[in-house]
Chain A
């Protein structure tokens, strides 16, 4: 037994330091308040301190950090998006992710697996070819592969989907596609922000945002009022509750997205396999569990309930592709909230209210954007001006009819 483990067994107190402090009470005033202790909010706190020297910052989380979408997603990271704005943005995030374990000195189990988006019809293969060409043009590693390549890389797959679904014609293949330990991403940013002076307040809910003469003056919480002139709303699936507090209209609607894990198996699936036709994406975690996600729930709901319909649908899709999984048991099923935009791109940056910044519209695709969102939102808050990479994502784009259409690349639910 390693000595370190033995030390744990013999100690009365926990011998390891906590990941971050739990401050006893809120201060009267902060330079900036961040609503939401998901990866995005914690990332913004981290980069505000690290890159802009702004350390009088409170992150307010109504539950526990990473308890929202950050700890519920299927952890897929990729950059094979369709628009130049999107592809550039997500590529920057992939670049940051690759270095993050080292930067944190904390293992995020960032694991590049290769990402297949299966085409079950010639038409869908044509779309994939288009996406691959756009990707290549933007310098992103992405290509269309044939059945033989898929079979060689994922020998267990049934390319004819049992004969009861349309066969697989080929796939879009994105070698850098990766998965990561999502809760560790929240903890890594939390620890880094905490070490640099930011405060993380769990069990602290924001109940109102005080706006005076078009400017942010503070936030109301269930633990009292805090004065501040800069507020970042980074609450993803809860955004419509916060925008209501400041009277901001947005296109956001909230739908649940469901996922499941099976019991752990010996490693056999190295790749990430996505099928839009089967409403399924799956990968094998470093613990051996198969992680599968579905498509969005069919109607608006601000609730994290999960349904038998979806457990059946996801299982059916898994069996169509991998019939030998018939005896494997499902361990857990859950849902998270997705704040959907009409163009499948996020809503980021400044707003008509001075000092109120928004980071939302993360739908089913926001985990992969955690580092780049934290970084660009911190920059935007420090400079009161949208960062170059997120200009196209400002809320005002809808008023100008300038959407950033990512439906083809983002709508499969990861």
Chain B
């Protein structure tokens, strides 16, 4: 069974989690807001191989958090609550 470490609830089986996609900069931080930038934000993704920062959700406890995961080896490297990057999860 694959185990993922929830920053609040500790190690739990992967079946308890939901994948929320890559962590992306907040679009409201953009000053320009040109159509092309919006299209890039809405549609384009960083689907390349590598270590990614992603949103994950622990379903039973309703916890959204960030995981750093290698999308080729499927190894989770770190998990932490959004904004709490410094503290290792």
Contact = CB atoms under 8 A, between A and B. Distances in A.
Interface stretch (A34-42, A248-256, A262-270): A248-256
A400 B52 CA distance: 28
B40 interface: yes
B19 to A, nearest CB: 4
A305 interface: yes
A399 B48 CA distance: 20
Nearest to B36: A399
A240 B44 contact: no
B44 A303 contact: no
Contacts of A309: 15
A299 B20 CA distance: 8
A412 to B, nearest CB: 20
A403 to B, nearest CB: 8
Question: Mostly helix, strand, loop or mixed at chain B's interface?
Answer: mixed
Given A250-B44, A301-B71, A303-B74, A240 B49 contact: yes
Interface in A232-260: 240-241, 243-244, 249-254
Interface in A274-300: 298-300
A302 B44 contact: no
B43 A251 contact: yes
A241 B36 contact: no
Given A398-B39, A399-B39, A401-B39, A251 B72 contact: no
A300 B71 contact: yes
Contacts of B72: 301-303
Most buried by A among B36, B42, B48, B72: B48
Given A299-B19, A309-B15, A249 B74 contact: no
Interface residues of A, number: 24
B74 to A, nearest CB: 6
Contacts of A401: 35, 39
B47 A250 contact: yes
B31 interface: no
Contacts of B49: 240-241, 302
B45 A251 contact: yes
A405 interface: no
Interface string B29-43: 000000110011011
A135 to B, nearest CB: 28
Interface in A388-414: 398-401
Most buried by A among B40, B43, B47, B52: B47
B43 A300 contact: no
B50 to A, nearest CB: 9
A114 interface: no
A342 interface: yes
Contact of A251 (B35, B36, B44, B73): B44
B4 to A, nearest CB: 11
Nearest to A299: B19
Nearest to B39: A399
Interface of A: 240-241, 243-244, 249-254, 298-303, 305, 309, 339, 342, 398-401
21 contacts: A249-B44, A251-B43, A251-B45, A251-B47, A252-B45, A253-B45, A298-B18, A298-B19, A299-B19, A301-B72, A301-B74, A302-B49, A302-B71, A302-B72, A303-B73, A303-B74, A305-B74, A342-B43, A398-B44, A399-B39, A401-B35
Q: Which 3 A-B pairs have the closest CB atoms?
A: A299-B19, A398-B43, A253-B47
Given A240-B48, A298-B18, A300-B54, 19 more contacts: A240-B49, A243-B48, A244-B48, A249-B40, A251-B43, A251-B44, A251-B45, A251-B47, A254-B71, A301-B72, A301-B74, A302-B71, A302-B72, A305-B74, A398-B44, A399-B35, A399-B36, A399-B40, A400-B39
